[in-house]
A and B are shown apart, each in its own frame.
Chain A
Amino acid sequence: MEKAIRDSSLKKEEYEWYMVSKLGFRNLDSVTKVINSLLYDASDKTELRYLAGKILSMNKEELILSGLKDQKKYDSLLEDMERVKADDNIFLEYSRLADKGIEFIARFHDKYPDLLNQIYLPPVGLYVYGRSDCLLDFNKSFPRIAMVGARNCTEYGKKIAFDLARDFTCRGNFVVSGMAVGIDKAAHEGALSADGATIAVLGCGVDICYPRTNIGLYRDIVEEGVIISEYEAGTPAYKSNFPQRNRIISGMCEATLVVEARKRSGSLITAADALNQDRLVCAVPGRIGDPLSEGCNELLLSGASPITKPKDLYDLFEIELPKNLSLDLEKVKNNMDDSEENITYENIFLERQKNLVYSVVNLYPETMDSIIEKTGMDVASVGMITALLLMEGKLKETSPNTYIRS
């Protein structure tokens, strides 16, 4: 196998990391302990890259010396190390990753999200699919923001997530989320809409799109950003993987922002992870009584920072926003409006009606009947004006005859 490595263009130290990652989640605790003890001895950063080889060549005594006192643990570790070293298939697997376009990025690699090194039980390596070079930029950016929220969210929540993600990305920040439906999806889409990269952390293999309905988004992220996962390619989406996945989402970011969450939901688990990892937890406040705001409001009550606009978050990190930034954001917005040819009517009366209808529609879906009620206009005109506003892109139809501002 040594020869095979030499023959291929693969680097030996990286393959060794891959073998360590193959020791599995049950040994992660032991492996992390050993790595931490070796960290003390390491003289410089480049040496850290070769840690994996050291670990694999360790014997029982060395393991005990590096702090692994429990016999059960080092026995199982040694046993698994022997198994991994003897298994030729692992090399085959590793050499084929590149064919699939998947990169394996281990700890202490330049592309490995550096904040992950600080959490409890960081993954030994991550499978990366897409534009992996944006992980370099990711490590340089500050603050990095994880956005999470309910899958069954409101249109309002989607819009807020989209807008915030877009604005963060415009400023050059990275938005990390889980590519689930609902808030996650809106956050990724917002980031992509600002022509920026975004990072999706999956609970399955990176070559698997879960949920399947997000296939369009998945392709876009592969194109513009990266998909990462702790699980090897081909791993199906097991339910039990998701809580572990959540620790990565919060772990690689300075701040975790919860947009909409029910009581006792997965988003709150991510928020709890963020707290345990000593990261900032923020939440978007919601209306009292909305089941989808209960989680966020609960977080706020227990001390999370409320976020109502991008600036709120930057203030927390004491980042001065340059004056021209707000203009940039405006520009993006305008660009979006201008992306389609608008119909213009000289009719002033029509303009007035349009303004009237637009003024009563807000971020919560408004039905046609309530617009009729609020404006006092007749049904035919409301139908006509809403259709007009829809075509101008000022309104969005969330379901038939139900509108929100877009």
Chain B
Amino acid sequence: MYSEVLSIAITGLTTCIVKVETDVDNGIPYFEMSGCLSTMVRESKERIQVSIRNSGFKLKPQRIIVNISPADVRKAGTGFDLPIAIGILMANSMLKKDLVEQAVFLGELSLDGSINSVNGILPSVIAAKEAGLKRIFIPKANEKEARILDGLEICPVANLKELTDYLNGINKLSPSVEVRLQEREDKDVKVDKVDNNEIRDNKDNKDRAKAYDYLDIVGQKSAKRAVMIAAAGMHNIMLEGAPGAGKTMIAERIPGILPDLEMDEKLEITKIYSIAGILKDGDLIYERPFRNPHHSVTQAAMLGGGAIPRPGEITLATSGVLFLDELTEYKAQILESLRQPLEDKYIRLVRVGLDYVFPADFMLVAAMNPCKCGYYPDRLRCNCKESDIRRFRDKISQPMWDRFDMKVHIESVGLEELIKERDDRDETFTTSKMKEAVERARLRQKERFEIRNYRDENDQFALGGRKLRFNSDMNAKDIKSYCPLSDECSKVLRQAYSRFGLTMRAYNKIIKVARTIADLDDSDEIGIKHLLEAISYRVVTSSIT
């Protein structure tokens, strides 16, 4: 007998509906699987048979052939256990057909018949919905994640027995207590509609912001303002300063002031995290990611790797911040490999026969010491040779320096200031105030790029195609159309260009940063003061003359 069951294969970040075909026949006992399967899938053979037996089914000895088509898509992961088991039972005519048609099955089986959670539920649900299927059977543990998206029947099941009983019409599936509670709450919450997807959203998620506040940092006003500007326009920023000056503290607090995520960004990030298997409690991600890989990170972990690549740090940081502390300690090769994703906002990983394109649209925040001892230019403490300082800085190549929009120097805070601040806290820069300003600037940017994004989305011939969200996303052409400069401004910029020997890239970066400063200032035009302030954040690579 022959049966067909649908499931979903995930390769890289793309999903594909696959057909699990099962044929059982009398003959010498035999179990074979085909269809470009990874070892992970192949070794599930025995597990599935035991699991079926322990769920109360008696299979007679038989020839079982399973094929998962299309056979040219590589199948990895543990989610195929369930569809294969259902396929075998169907082929043995042990299940009713009605509910199995138009349904997708995902789940990993245990020997005792229970169904364990799998990764990549959210993208699977999205894929099933897009394919117009009616229902999806998923492990109970993944229920919350699956319910992020409504619009198709989510059927969470705890074990194989429960599932087969349901398919045979013996019992009904009951949602978990937690989900029922959630549903009661949801009645009060308005549902956002994006891309016709109904999405559950939870607005109140500010734990990190509460734990880390810029108020905790004494002084450092210039650095605080610089990171605020960087956050508002998602500009890459370099923090340079002496050890113990507070570079890491300042960087850690950036997520608290980052602009809110748009709904499509939230879905995108949650999808990535789901596939990477690091989604917490199966909840939608509300905060921009903040990834800070240690400098011992390998290239595969940074960019994504494996035979079927898993997303690396740069992909996990999409729409958020990639913080590289002690930038000079990273292997040069890893830093250089960041150049392309920084420019293109995606990474293309090529494996034999297939390309995997992962998003890598992140804001780079880096921190480093100015020299080996860390105290340059304070010559009273730093006795590094100029050649050593140069060598230390040369660990970061010039093209890498060019990827930063802003640079700021962080000086250690003196004792007097520490004492003064303890008594009299300066509240110009608190996380909530900074966030408010950033949010205002984000809305201005959204407004600015709205028309163009709409036009591009609806024009298949549109060039670029990438959505503009922040000022840092602008290319040279966009700068021309969105950042007109007054005569006086262009004069100042020309002067800076010759005075500081700027490159064309640096020139454009100054305009982009000036645009963000103007946005923070609620100004439609870039004024002289915005431009000059942007110039003061320009990236100076070699200060040694």
Contact residues of A with B, CB < 8 Å? 151-155, 157, 181-182, 211, 213, 262, 290-292, 340-341, 343, 365, 367-370, 372-373, 378-388, 390-391, 393, 397-402
Contacts and interface: CB of A to CB of B under 8 A. Distances in A.
A379 B222 contact: yes
B387 A211 contact: yes
B409 interface: yes
A402 B409 contact: yes
B97 interface: no
14 contacts: A152-B385, A213-B386, A341-B495, A343-B491, A379-B224, A383-B222, A384-B533, A391-B492, A391-B496, A391-B499, A393-B499, A399-B240, A399-B377, A402-B377
B532 to A, nearest CB: 4
B221 interface: yes
Nearest to B381: A291
Contacts of A391: 492, 495-496, 499, 535
B536 A369 contact: no
Contacts of A385: 532
A373 B417 contact: yes
A181 B225 CA distance: 36
Leading 9 A-B pairs by shortest Cβ distance: A384-B532, A383-B536, A154-B379, A401-B409, A400-B409, A368-B222, A399-B543, A383-B533, A387-B536
Nearest to A292: B379
Contacts of B71: none
Nearest to A384: B532
A213 B385 CA distance: 12
Interface in B101-153: none
Which of B225, B379, B411 has the most A CB atoms < 10 Å from its CB?
Answer: B379
Contacts of B409: 367-368, 399-402
Interface string B410-432: 01010001000000000010000
Contacts of A343: 491-492, 495
A398 B377 CA distance: 7
Contact of A387 (B380, B417, B533): B533
B387 A372 contact: no
Nearest to A155: B377
Interface in B376-414: 376-380, 382-387, 390, 407-409, 411, 413
A246 to B, nearest CB: 19
Contacts of B382: 152
A182 B261 CA distance: 50
Contacts of B529: 380-381, 384
B219 interface: yes
B222 A401 contact: yes
Contacts of B408: 400-401
A369 B537 contact: no
B243 to A, nearest CB: 15
Contacts of A211: 387
Given A367-B411, A373-B417, A401 B377 contact: no
A372 B496 contact: no
Contact of B225 (A153, A341, A380): A380
A152 B413 CA distance: 24
B190 to A, nearest CB: 38
Contact of B222 (A292, A340, A382): A382
B280 to A, nearest CB: 36
Interface in B215-262: 219-225, 240
A388 B499 CA distance: 11
Contacts of B225: 379-380, 383
Contacts of A378: 428
A378 B521 CA distance: 13
B384 A152 contact: yes
Interface of B: 219-225, 240, 370, 376-380, 382-387, 390, 407-409, 411, 413, 417, 428, 491-492, 495-496, 499, 517, 521, 528-529, 532-533, 535-537, 540, 543
Contacts of B370: 399
Contacts of A393: 499
Given A151-B386, A367-B409, A391-B496, A383 B380 contact: no
Contacts of B491: 343
Contacts of A370: 411
Nearest to B376: A399
A182 B386 contact: yes
A340 B501 CA distance: 14
Contacts of B386: 151-152, 181-182, 213
Contacts of A397: 540, 543
A152 B373 CA distance: 13
Given A213-B387, A399-B377, 19 more contacts: A151-B385, A157-B379, A291-B380, A343-B491, A343-B492, A367-B411, A369-B413, A379-B221, A379-B224, A379-B225, A386-B536, A387-B535, A391-B496, A391-B535, A393-B499, A400-B240, A400-B540, A401-B408, A402-B377
Contacts of B378: 365
A368 B378 CA distance: 14
Which of A343, A379, A402 has the most B CB atoms < 10 Å from its CB?
Answer: A379
Nearest to A342: B495
A373 B413 CA distance: 12
B536 A181 contact: no
B59 to A, nearest CB: 72
Contacts of B537: 383
A380 B407 CA distance: 15
B128 to A, nearest CB: 51
Nearest to A340: B499
B534 to A, nearest CB: 8
Contacts of A340: 499
A213 to B, nearest CB: 6
Given A369-B220, A391-B496, A401-B408, A380 B543 contact: no
A213 B390 contact: yes
A388 B536 CA distance: 9
Contact of B221 (A290, A369, A388): A369
A154 B380 contact: yes
A309 B411 CA distance: 32
Nearest to A385: B532
Contacts of A390: 499, 535-536
A109 B492 CA distance: 56
Given A384-B532, A387-B536, A181 B387 contact: yes
Given A383-B536, A391-B492, A372 B222 contact: yes
Nearest to A150: B379
Which of B219, B222, B528 has the most A CB atoms < 10 Å from its CB?
Answer: B222
A56 B367 CA distance: 66
A153 B379 contact: yes
Contacts of B387: 181, 211, 213
A154 B381 CA distance: 10
Contact of A383 (B220, B411, B532): B532
Contacts of A387: 496, 532-533, 535-536
Contacts of A400: 240, 407-409, 540, 543
B71 to A, nearest CB: 57
Which of A154, A213, A391 has the most B CB atoms < 10 Å from its CB?
Answer: A391
A372 B377 contact: no
Which of B377, B496, B537 has the most A CB atoms < 10 Å from its CB?
Answer: B377
Contacts of B380: 154, 290-292
B219 A369 contact: yes
A378 B520 CA distance: 15
A225 B383 CA distance: 31
Given A151-B386, A400-B409, A400-B540, A372 B221 contact: yes
A339 to B, nearest CB: 11
A345 to B, nearest CB: 8
Contacts of B413: 369
B237 to A, nearest CB: 11
Nearest to B220: A369
A152 B383 contact: yes
A402 B412 CA distance: 13
Which of A262, A365, A388 has the most B CB atoms < 10 Å from its CB?
Answer: A388
A44 B221 CA distance: 75
